Chain A
Amino acid sequence: MIKDKTKNEMIEDSTKDNRKDKRKIIGFIGSFVALAFGSSLISSALGFLTRKDENKKQNRDKNKKQNRDKKRPKWAMVIDLDLCTGCGGCAIACKVENNVPFTGDDEKMFGAEISWMTILETEKGFLPLPCFHCDNPPCTKVCPVGATYINEEGIVMQIWDRCIGCRYCQVACPYERKYFVWTKPHWPETYKQWFNPDVATRPKGVVEKCTFCAHRLRKLKEKVKDEDREIKDEEVRYLPACAETCPTRAIVFGDISNPESIVSQLAKSPRAFRIEENLGTEPKVIYLAKEKRKYITEGGE
C-alpha cells in the first residue's frame, strides 16, 4: 500500500513537474522568440528609416538641382610643372594658411615634419605635391572610424576630432600625402597672433592633410549665397593659398565638371597627366609637363 501511494504520489509529482516544465519551456521559447522577433523588427525598422532618410535626401537633392539647374561642382587642381620654378612659395603659404606646426631643425624631428604641400626635387624638375583628393580614395576606405571621407564636391576631408591616430590612412595612401602629428604641435610664441582663425589647430596624435583650402571655399559659398548668384570660375581659379601665392601661376584650381572652367580645359591638354593612374585612385590633381615621364619614373636614392 505504502509503496503504491508513493508511486501514485510520484506520478502526480512528475506530472506536476512536467506541467511546470512545460510552462517554463513555453515561457522560455516565447521570450526568445519575442526577443528574436523584436530584434529583427528593429533591424527592419532601421532599414526602413534609413531608406526614408535617403529618399528625403534624394528629394532634397532633386529640389536643389531643379532650383539651380546645375550639378555639384567637382573641385580639381592643375599644376603646370613647366612653369614651376621650385621657389617653395606654395609650401610656405600652405603652412601659414592652415596653421601647420613648425618642426624646427631638431634632429629628433627628422621625418616628423608636416608639409601639406611638399615640393619634391626630381632629376629634371620640381614636383609640387598637395593631397590628390582622389575620386576613389584608398584612405577613406580603410579608416576604421570614418574620420576621413570624400564629400559631395570631391574633396577628401579629415575630421580631426574623430581621428584615433591609427595611421592606417597614411599607410594606405599610395602617394604618402597624409601627415601624422607625431608630437605636440609647436609654434614660436610671437607667431601665434597670426594664426588663421578659419582653420582649427590639430592636437598631437591625429592625421592631417591638405583640404584644398576648404575653409576658403566655404567662405566664398557664403558670400555667393548672400549675393544670390553662382560661383564664377575666375573667383576660384587662384582660391587655395598655394595657387594664390604661386608667382608663375603654375597652380590653377577650379570645377572640373564644368567644361568651361580653365581647369577642365587644361586637363584636356596633351601635356596633362595624373600620377599612377593604373592604381585606379582617380586623382583630381592634374599635372602638365612636356615630358611627363621624367617626373614620375625613378625614385630618389
Chain B
Amino acid sequence: MLSDRKDPIEFFRLMKISWLWVLFVLLSILGIAIGISGYYLQLKYGEIVTGLRTPGAGGVAWGLYVVFIIFFAGISFGGLSTSVAVRIFGISELKPITRIAEFISIISPILAVMCVLSDQGRVISALINLPRYARIASPMFGTFSMAISGYLFASLIYFFLSTRSDAYELSRKTKGIMKIIYKIWASGFKGTPEDFERHSKASFWFAIFILPMLVIASSTLGFIFGLHSGRPGWFSALQAPSFVIMAGISGIGLIIIFAYILNKIYKDSIPSEAIRTLGNILMFLTITYIYLMIVEELTSNYAAPKKDREIAHIIVFGTYAPYFWITVISLVISFLILFYQFSSGKILSGPTVISALLVNIAAFTKRFVLVVPSQTHGFFLPYPKGQYNITAVEIMVLIGIASFGLLIFLLFAKVFPLIPLETVGLAETPRTFQKKKNILRTSATLGTLLVGISLMIVGFISSARAFTKYYLDPVIPFAPVVFIIGVIVSFLSAVVYEIIPERNTQSSSSER
C-alpha cells in the first residue's frame, strides 16, 4: 500500500505550505508574542507580577515554572529512553516512532531551559554565573549539566545519526538549496550496507552508553526535592525513582499523542501495533507509579513525623485534594484502559490516546502537589499558612514557551519527514553487508570517547572542592563548562564512528 507512494517529498508534504499549517504557525507566533509580553512585565517589575511570594510570609517560592521544568525535562527523558530502548532491545515495531521520540526530546530540554531562565530572579547573572561557578554539590548541577544539556545533546546526536539515511534519500529527490542542505546533513551517507551497519552499531553502543546517564540525570531532578530534611513532604528516598518513572510515563504519553496526530495527518503511516506496544509499556509504568504512590502514602501516614503527616493529610483531604485525586483517578483510569487493551489483545488506538492524555494531566497535577504544598504548609515554625495564586503572567510566559516548541515542530515538519522513510516503505534498507575492521575509525572513536571522559573528569574535579566545608569557588572558573563539553565530546564519539567512511570500499569494488 504505502510503497506505492514513491516520493517522500510528496508524501510528507515537505516544503509545501497549506492553509492549516500557516494558521498554526500564526497561532504559535501569537503565543510567543503573548509569552514575550508576559516575560517583559516580569523583567520590568520583578517576580512580584507572578503568584510567587516568600514562603512563611504567605506564599511559595517555587511554583508553576518549576512544575514545568520537571514536566519538560521528564518528557525529554521519556522520549530519549524510548529511542534508547528501541535501539538496545531492537523493538522493531517501535521504529516508526523513534524519530518523533527523538524530536520531542530535542525540543523539550530547550523548553525546560526557558522555564529555568524565566524562574530566575536575574537571568543575565544566571547565564554568566552558572557556567562560571556551578557547584557539583548542588542537586541543581545535575539538572543543568546532565538533565538539560545532556538530554539535549544526546538526542541531537541520535537525531542526526538516524536522519542521515533519510537526508541522503531526500538529497537525491530535491534540487537547489535544499539539495545542498540535505547533502550536508547526510554527511557522506551513501546508502551502502556498510553505512547502515555502522549506523545500527553506533546507535546500539551509544544507547548503552547514555542509559546510565539518563537515569542519573532524571534522578538528580528528584534529588532537588528529595534531599531536604527541612521540607516536610519532600524528604524521601522515593523521590528520585518516582521522578524517573513519572518522566517515562509523561514522555511515552506524549509520544503516543504525537503518533496519533501524525497518523491522522499522514494517513496511517504509523502502524497501530506501535501505538499498542507503547500503550503496553505505559501500562507497566503506570502501575509501577501507582505502587510508588501507595508506598509514599503509607509511609507518610503510618508513623511519619508529625509535619510529614500534616502535609500528607492536606494533600489527600485538604486544600490540594482536587489535584491529588485528579492524579489518582487519571492514573487508575488510564491503567484500566491500557490493561484492557493488553489483556484482550485488541488494538484500541483512541482509548490509548485518551489514557496518554490522562497520564500527562496526572504528571502535571502530581508535580504540582509535590512542589507547592510543602511550601505553603510545611513549616517547622508557627508561620501562618500560605497560598499560591497563579497569575496571568506565569500562564502567559508558559504559553509563550509552549508555542515556541510548537513553532519549531511546525517548521521542522516542513523540512524533514517525521517518520523514518524506511518504516513507511519509502526507502529500502539493504540487508547484506561485509564486516570489515577499520583501525582508524575504531581508534578515532575510542580517542574521542577518551578525550570526552577525561574532559568530564577534569571538569568534575576542578569544579568540585565539593566536600570541603568552606567551599566557595570552582578550582578554575568555568570548570563546569569543561564538564559539559566533556559530556558532549564523549557523545560525539558515536558521530565519529559513523561518519568516518569505509576505507577499502573503492578497492574492493574495483576488485570485483
Contact = CB atoms under 8 A, between A and B. Distances in A.
Interface of A: 10, 13-14, 17, 21, 24-25, 28-29, 31-33, 35-36, 39-40, 42-43, 46-47, 49-50, 108-114, 120, 122-123, 127, 129, 138, 141-147, 149-152, 162-168, 170-176, 179-184, 203-207, 275-276, 279-281, 295-301
B462 interface: yes
Given A25-B440, A144-B130, A149 B470 contact: yes
Nearest to A31: B447
Interface of B: 45-48, 52-59, 61-62, 119-122, 125-126, 129-130, 132-135, 137-141, 144, 224, 227-231, 375, 379-386, 439-440, 443-444, 446-448, 450-451, 454-455, 457-458, 461-462, 465, 469-473, 475-476, 503, 507, 510-511
B382 A164 contact: no
Contacts of A25: 439-440, 443
A279 B232 CA distance: 11
A181 B120 CA distance: 12
A96 to B, nearest CB: 20
9 contacts: A36-B454, A43-B457, A112-B53, A145-B134, A166-B121, A168-B138, A180-B47, A299-B381, A299-B385
A100 to B, nearest CB: 13
A165 B503 contact: no
B133 A145 contact: yes
Given A171-B228, A300-B383, 11 more contacts: A28-B444, A29-B443, A36-B447, A36-B454, A40-B457, A46-B476, A145-B133, A163-B122, A165-B122, A166-B120, A180-B54
B504 to A, nearest CB: 8
Given A39-B455, A40-B454, A111-B57, A122 B382 contact: yes
B230 A174 contact: yes
Contacts of B133: 145-147, 162
B379 A299 contact: yes
B125 to A, nearest CB: 5
Contacts of B132: 145
A175 B62 contact: no
A35 B458 CA distance: 12
Nearest to A297: B382
A2 to B, nearest CB: 15
A183 B229 contact: no
B439 A39 contact: no
A167 B121 CA distance: 8
Contacts of B48: 108-109, 112, 182-183
B383 A176 contact: yes
Nearest to A176: B56
A129 B381 contact: yes
A215 to B, nearest CB: 19
B135 A42 contact: no
Contacts of A21: 439-440, 503
Nearest to B122: A205
Nearest to A151: B470
Given A122-B382, A146-B133, A180 B455 contact: no
A171 B231 contact: yes
Nearest to A169: B61
Q: Which of A25, A167, A281 has the most chain B CB atoms inside 10 A of its CB?
A: A167
Contacts of B224: 168
A145 B382 contact: no
Contacts of B440: 21, 24-25, 28
A111 B54 contact: yes
B120 A205 contact: yes
Nearest to A39: B454
Contacts of A179: 54
B467 to A, nearest CB: 11
A257 B376 CA distance: 37
